[in-house]
Amino acid sequence: MTQTTKQAWLVDFVMLAAIWGASFMFMRTASQEMGPLASAGMRVIIAALFLLPILWFKGLGGALRKHWKITLSVGVLNSALPFVCFTYALLSITTGLSAILNATVPLFGALVAWLWLKDRPSGSRMLGLAVGFIGVTMLAWDKASFKPDANGLSTGWAVLACLLACLCYGTAASVAKRYMAGLPSLVSATGSQIGASIALMPLTLLYWPAQAPSLQAWGSVLVLGVVCTGLAYILYFRLIERAGPARALAVTFAIPAFAVFYGVLLLGESITPWMVICALVIIAGTTLSTGLLTLGARARA
């Protein structure tokens, strides 16, 4: 990897972490008025409408038609399901907690690659899987309660929804590695959002809120669709191309820092010392499980 290429993917990495860190804040704002299904649906529909003209302008319509089955399918797994899960979870847990749980994506990615792609991990990577899941258990044990609150929601189901979203992300990364290698990032991003839109459109109409959403809610969905999804997925798939799926998934390590910063500064949220400890355990485990520590040692050699 040349120095120029490394600098390019590092810029994408930081930008993506900052954008996706902010997405939790906007998801929470939108879901409070629109609900999980409608807000997630509008997010991917806006993203698809934003990306499609760019795709045609770039002359990549033929590539999308050729690979429409896989790109649309990945959209259900990599956007529709996770977005619904996170918007549901953010009705009862903080943006910081959901972002810390989101850091388990590389953990699930390594596990799926092991079980499905037969990418058997080394001893240190297996240790990382164990450490990472211990961190998740520690965090869930402290924060998860299945006792319903006044709105009939519980933090326990919210935590499980976040982990299901992370499993979807991790699985989608292996699918992209196996079936979408070489596809332009714009084709992958656009096709996936069209697929997610098709999947969520009926539910969006069915669960549209009776009361008209405010301008703040619409603004949040617009930012989610254009910036946090449309632009972000171009960066994400480009990051996979330039740096590989392991480094691309590692962006989730940096997302909690941005999400916590936004949440504390703009939403008045707080983060406990126990959450920080659990986050460090999860990040240590996922770093080992993806082999990034080994990669770093090779880079310094």
Q: Is residue 6 part of a domain?
A: no
Q: E strands, the chain, where?
A: none
Q: Is residue 18 part of a domain?
A: no
137-151 pLDDT tens trace: 888 777 777 777 767
Q: Is residue 244 part of a domain?
A: yes
Q: How far apart are CA 133 and CA 7, in angstroms?
A: 32
Token pair, residue 18, equals 């900052």
Checking if the pLDDT of 194 tops 70, the result is yes
Token pair, residue 21, equals 């860190």
Question: What band does 218 get if pLDDT is binned at 50, 70 and 90?
Answer: very high
Domains in the chain, number = 1
Q: What is the pLDDT of residue 52?
A: 95
Token pair, residue 160, equals 């499980």
Instruction: Compute the CA torsion angle 226, 109, 252, 131 (nearest 10 deg).
Output: 160
From the list 263, 163, 222, 189, the residue with the least C-alpha distance to 12 is: 189
pTM of the predicted model as reported, rounded to 2 decimal places? 0.85
Q: Is residue 148 part of a domain?
A: yes
Which range scores top for mean pLDDT: 103-107, 208-212, 272-276?
208-212
Contact 196, 188 (CB under 8 A): no
Q: Is residue 38 part of a domain?
A: yes
Q: How far apart are CA 278 and CA 104, in angstroms?
A: 11
Q: 180 by DSSP, 3-state: which?
A: coil
Q: Is residue 296 part of a domain?
A: yes
Q: What is the pLDDT of residue 297?
A: 42
Q: Is residue 3 part of a domain?
A: no
Residues spanned by the domain of 231: 23-300
Q: Lowest mean pLDDT: which of 52-61, 67-76, 176-185, 210-219? A: 176-185
Q: What is the pLDDT of residue 150?
A: 67
69-83 pLDDT tens trace: 999 999 999 999 999
Checking if the pLDDT of 296 tops 50, the result is no
Write down the number of H helices and E strands in the chain: 16, 0
Q: How far apart are CA 247 and CA 102, in angstroms?
A: 15
Q: Is residue 131 part of a domain?
A: yes
Mean pLDDT to the nearest integer, 212-219? 95
